[in-house]
């Protein structure tokens, strides 16, 4: 299938071939009929991509601060690589889609139904059920494609809470503004529209509004005063897009005492306190389609809000817009200015800057015969190169896999055969970039491949155990990005599967890369001459992660001890070279009304040789402080490792300092060791007993913290 991608680095818009998404529980797979180009949002993304680095930085000052903080902790080279990686990652465009369900994993939707969704511009889209709504029979697909844009307007209006007879100003008569005019008129409001474009003003007048044409130097404040019979308008809805703060100032001056401003668009926010203070004006920013937006539990988990407590969710706003289209209270046909076949989609984006462009529609009529294919060829399949013994299939291509793991394997003369991601987009992007032969959305293409002998698993944590077991049973060598499993039951199943494979077992490796760092190797060599028990203190300035992020969900990510702190438990296990025989774990104390999680924790490990290791895993520190620090106290001397860039010896005979310009966390060395073990026919770099031991300790620590 085809999909539109836009480069944040260059601003180029391209139509590319990608695998059809694999449908998931609670999702719908939809074949697109019509999609609407959002002239405001998509123009903003294209303009951002075309801007130079300085202009990009000016548009996102908060991101600049993050970059500067990262330079302090990770170094210039690592930071530059991270920024380039972000900008070089194309993004999908589009969020106004109308199509037909071809596969449903939902009880409320069936195959063959027409639906709207916030799906991208693509032949097929996979969308969670709460972001879809059924199209009434008397609403055509072109009109239905305006539903999501309409819901944005509707949500802003709901925040205004207009009543019959009130006077409302709509500043900005683009798609959202013109739809808002109609909804407000249907609600019994008198509407004043403001814009620079005479054609848009004419459309607003057709929908029953009075207008102010700023292009003709009309004074909106004077007109608004007259329009409101000298009392001041009741509310202002700002849908404009401008760097200027003038729309906010105008709004405040138009309003009556205790009037309301709701911002949907993007404008300057240099507010005058005097403008708002004297009239006790209320100001609110509207969030997209409505309640549920950006809530993973609602959007991805399918957990609806009870209607008795949240009457209008984003899905119910979709339904309300469709009802208005069905009843004739909303007419979007006059807003359609351009129509293109999807095959000419890139041409459509040339019209975004046209003065007369409003509703630009993409029709998929030329691709109705498009075949669902979970696999596409990225390049001609060539014979193995000389000495190439590792043929790899990758499952997952998220940020870490695409930036670190895939390039590390590519540099080791590994044949990168197949890249699988469930949505298909990342497999296409990173597959092409890194020389894969096949992009797919089905892991079976790896498991059943006779040529692939090695599987790299970099998916979400809850998938790891099942995928590890399936790969082992398919007799594939397995490299799984941590963690190995997130429950003890999963871990026992992996152990049983591995032990039952017979004498010629494939290799099983977990990406505990820090034990392979050159700094760790130096530390290990220094400690070999010190047989006495040692004390290790690890301080991890982990940084805050939102509580609704998938890594914090114990069912999906396993939590931060299992998912991240496992690195440092393994690191100490390697440096001590002795079994872990016990642990204590304590998280930060409860505060009334504040939820505690396992990301502000102190863990103490006891080792068989008498050594102790304490890990302070903390999310409440500052970004300017080093993220990872290890201190070793032994025999009257101290070793200190800072952020895997600097190792210092204090009173350590024969050693003072080792430094690096960039971080050396051992990712490349970890992959190198794994690949060499396959090429040389040797065992996996980390003994299976240690992998199981560390994994079990991590899960037990997490379980203990959950009980506190």
Residues found in the chain: 708
Q: Is 350 exposed, middle or buried (0-12, 13-18, 19+ CB in 10 A)?
A: exposed
The per-residue pLDDT for range 177-223, each reduced to its tens digit, is 999 999 999 999 999 999 999 999 999 999 999 999 999 989 999 99
Region 276-298 average pLDDT = 93
Poorest-pLDDT segment among 26-30, 324-328, 587-591: 587-591
Residue of higher predicted confidence among 381 and 161? 161
For 104, residues 6+ apart whose C-beta sits below 8 A from its C-beta are 23, 28, 29, 110, 111
What is the DSSP-derived secondary structure letter of residue 591?
B
HSE-CB at 579 with a 13 A cutoff on CA atoms is 7
Region 1-21 average pLDDT = 87
Q: Could you tell me the strand order of the sheet in which 612-618 lies?
A: 580-587, 600-607, 612-618, 535-541, 628-634, 637-642, 646-650, 657-659
Tokens 């096949």 sit on residue: 438
- H/E run at residue 519: helix 518-527
Q: Alpha-carbon distance 238 to 246, whole Å?
A: 11
Whether the per-residue pLDDT at 404 is higher than 60: the answer is yes
Tokens 């990009």 sit on residue: 56
The per-residue pLDDT for range 37-52, each reduced to its tens digit, is 987 767 666 665 666 5
The per-residue pLDDT for range 369-402, each reduced to its tens digit, is 456 789 999 998 888 887 789 999 999 999 999 9
Determine how many CB atoms are found less than 10 A away from the CB of residue 449: 17
> What residues does CATH 3.40.50.720 cover in the chain?
149-285, 375-379+386-511
What is the DSSP-derived secondary structure letter of residue 402?
I
Determine how many CB atoms are found less than 10 A away from the CB of residue 475: 13
For position 63, what pLDDT does the model report?
54
Among 632, 625, 660, 620, CA closest to 644: 660
For position 369, what pLDDT does the model report?
46
For position 91, what pLDDT does the model report?
85
Average pLDDT, the chain: 91
Tokens 């060395």 sit on residue: 669
Quick one: pLDDT band at residue 459, thresholds 50, 70, 90?
Answer: very high
Q: What's the CATH code, domain 149-285? A: 3.40.50.720
> What residues does CATH 3.90.180.10 cover in the chain?
2-145+332-367
Among 161, 181, 23, CA closest to 102: 23
Helix runs in 300-424, H state only: 314-327, 345-348, 399-400, 406-410
Among 181, 214, 222, CA closest to 195: 214
Among 446, 482, 454, 459, CA closest to 398: 459
The per-residue pLDDT for range 216-270, each reduced to its tens digit, is 989 999 999 999 999 999 999 999 988 899 999 999 999 999 999 999 988 888 8
Quick one: pLDDT band at residue 455, thresholds 50, 70, 90?
Answer: very high
State the Rg of the chain over Cα. Answer: 29
Q: What's the CATH code, domain 514-707? A: 3.30.360.10
> What residues does CATH 3.30.360.10 cover in the chain?
514-707
Regarding the domain with residue range 375-379+386-511, which homologous superfamily does it belong to in the CATH classification? NAD(P)-binding Rossmann-like Domain (3.40.50.720)
For position 491, what pLDDT does the model report?
97
Percentage of the chain lying above the pLDDT 90 cut: 77
User: What's the sign of the alpha-carbon dihedral 501, 507, 509, 514?
Assistant: positive
Phi, psi at 160, each rounded to 5°: -70, -30
Q: Alpha-carbon distance 667 to 241, whole Å?
A: 44
Helix, strand, coil: what percent of the chain each, to 5?
A: 35, 25, 40
Q: Alpha-carbon distance 188 to 13, whole Å?
A: 42
Specify whether the CB–CB gap between 589 and 600 falls below 8 A. no
β-sheet bridge partners, residue 362: 35, 340
Q: At what angle do helices 220-227 and 246-254 cross, to 10 degrees?
A: 30
Whether the per-residue pLDDT at 81 is higher than 70: the answer is no
What is the DSSP-derived secondary structure letter of residue 403?
I
Quick one: pLDDT band at residue 56, thresholds 50, 70, 90?
Answer: very low
For position 572, what pLDDT does the model report?
98
Region 536-561 average pLDDT = 90
Region 482-511 average pLDDT = 96
The per-residue pLDDT for range 131-144, each reduced to its tens digit, is 999 999 999 999 99
For position 83, what pLDDT does the model report?
56
For position 625, what pLDDT does the model report?
85
The per-residue pLDDT for range 637-659, each reduced to its tens digit, is 999 999 999 999 999 998 999 99
Whether the per-residue pLDDT at 68 is higher than 90: the answer is no
Region 540-562 average pLDDT = 89
Quick one: pLDDT band at residue 549, thresholds 50, 70, 90?
Answer: confident
Q: Alpha-carbon distance 567 to 565, whole Å?
A: 5
For position 79, what pLDDT does the model report?
58
Poorest-pLDDT segment among 145-159, 266-280, 490-504: 266-280
3-state secondary structure of 565: helix
CA diameter of the chain: 90
Q: Could you tell me the strand order of the sheet in which 438-440 lies?
A: 375-377, 438-440, 415-420, 391-395, 454-457, 477-480, 508-510
The per-residue pLDDT for range 556-566, each reduced to its tens digit, is 999 999 999 99
Assigned token pair, 626:
């080093």
Q: Is 429 exposed, middle or buried (0-12, 13-18, 19+ CB in 10 A)?
A: buried
3-state secondary structure of 687: coil
Regarding the domain with residue range 2-145+332-367, which homologous superfamily does it belong to in the CATH classification? Medium-chain alcohol dehydrogenases, catalytic domain (3.90.180.10)
Determine how many CB atoms are found less than 10 A away from the CB of residue 668: 19
What string of DSSP letters covers 56-67? HHHH-HHHHHHH
β-sheet bridge partners, residue 170: 193, 237
Quick one: pLDDT band at residue 96, thresholds 50, 70, 90?
Answer: very high
Dihedral-angle region of residue 581 (phi above 0 means left; psi in -120 to 50 means alpha; beta otherwise): alpha
* pTM assigned to the model: 0.87
Assigned token pair, 27:
């999702």
């Amino acid at each position: 299938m085809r999909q539109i991608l836009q480069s944040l680095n260059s601003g180029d818009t391209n139509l590319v071939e990608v695998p059809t998404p694999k449908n998931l529980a609670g999702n719908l797979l939809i074949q697109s009929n019509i999609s609407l180009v959002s002239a405001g949002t998509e123009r903003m993304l294209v303009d951002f991509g075309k801007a130079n680095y300085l202009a990009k930085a000016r548009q996102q000052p908060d991101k600049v601060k993050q970059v500067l903080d990262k330079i302090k902790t990770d170094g210039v080279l690592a930071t530059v690589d991270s920024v380039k990686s972000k900008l070089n990652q194309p993004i999908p465009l589009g969020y106004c889609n109308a199509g037909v369900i071809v596969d449903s994993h939902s009880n409320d939707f069936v195959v063959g139904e027409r639906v709207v969704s916030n799906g991208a511009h693509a032949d097929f889209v996979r969308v969670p059920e709460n972001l879809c709504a059924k199209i009434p029979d008397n609403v055509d697909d072109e009109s239905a494609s305006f539903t999501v844009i309409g819901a944005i307007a509707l949500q802003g209006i709901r925040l205004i809470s207009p009543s019959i007879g009130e006077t409302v100003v709509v500043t900005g008569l683009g798609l959202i503004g013109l739809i808002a005019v109609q909804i407000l008129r249907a609600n019994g409001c008198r509407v004043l529209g403001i814009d620079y474009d005479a054609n848009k003003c004419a459309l607003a007048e057709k929908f029953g509004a009075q207008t102010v044409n700023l292009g003709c130097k009309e004074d909106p404040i004077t007109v608004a005063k007259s329009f409101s019979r000298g009392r001041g308008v009741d509310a202002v809805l700002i849908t404009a897009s401008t760097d200027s703060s003038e729309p906010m100032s105008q709004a405040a001056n138009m309003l009556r005492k205790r009037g309301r401003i709701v911002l949907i668009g993007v404008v300057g926010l240099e507010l005058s306190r005097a403008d708002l203070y004297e009239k006790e004006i209320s100001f609110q920013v509207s969030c997209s389609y409505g309640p549920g937006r950006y809530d993973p539990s609602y959007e991805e988990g399918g957990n609806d809000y009870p209607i008795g407590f949240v009457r209008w969710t984003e899905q119910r706003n979709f339904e309300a817009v469709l009802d208005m289209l069905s009843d004739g209270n909303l007419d979007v046909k006059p807003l359609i200015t351009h129509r293109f076949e999807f095959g000419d989609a890139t041409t459509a984006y040339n019209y975004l800057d046209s003065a007369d462009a409003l509703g630009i529609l993409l029709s998929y009529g030329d691709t109705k015969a498009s075949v669902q294919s979970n696999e596409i060829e990225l390049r001609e399949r060539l014979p193995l190169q000389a000495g190439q013994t590792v043929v790899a299939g990758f499952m997952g291509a998220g940020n870490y896999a695409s930036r670190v793991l895939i390039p590390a394997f590519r540099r080791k003369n590994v044949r990168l055969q197949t890249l699988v991601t469930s949505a298909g987009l990342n497999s296409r992007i990173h597959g092409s970039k890194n020389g894969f032969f096949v992009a797919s959305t089905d892991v079976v293409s790896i498991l059943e491949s006779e040529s692939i002998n090695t599987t790299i698993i970099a998916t979400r944590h809850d998938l790891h155990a099942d995928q590890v077991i399936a790969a082992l049973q398919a007799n594939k060598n397995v490299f799984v990005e941590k963690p190995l499993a997130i429950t003890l039951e999963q871990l026992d199943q992996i152990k049983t599967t591995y032990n039952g494979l017979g004498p010629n077992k494939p290799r099983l490796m977990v990406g505990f890369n820090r034990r392979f760092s050159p700094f760790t190797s130096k530390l290990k060599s220094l400690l070999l001459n010190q047989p006495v028990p040692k004390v290790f203190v690890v301080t991890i300035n982990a940084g805050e992660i939102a509580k609704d992020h998938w890594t914090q969900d114990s069912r999906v990510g396993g939590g931060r001890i299992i998912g991240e702190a496992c690195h440092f438990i393994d690191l100490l296990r390697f440096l001590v070279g002795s079994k872990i025989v016990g642990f204590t774990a304590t998280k930060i104390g409860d505060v009334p009304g504040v939820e505690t999680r396992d990301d502000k924790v102190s863990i103490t490990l006891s080792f068989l040789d008498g050594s102790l290791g304490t890990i302070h895993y903390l999310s409440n520190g500052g970004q300017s402080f080093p993220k990872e620090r290890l201190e070793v106290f032994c025999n009257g001397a101290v070793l200190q490792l800072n952020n895997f860039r600097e190792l210092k010896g204090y009173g350590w005979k024969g050693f003072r300092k080792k430094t690096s310009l960039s971080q050396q966390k051992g990712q490349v060395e970890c992959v190198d060791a794994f690949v060499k073990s396959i090429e040389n026919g040797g065992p996996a770099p980390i003994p299976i007993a240690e992998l199981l031991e560390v994994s079990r300790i991590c899960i037990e620590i997490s379980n203990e913290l959950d009980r506190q």
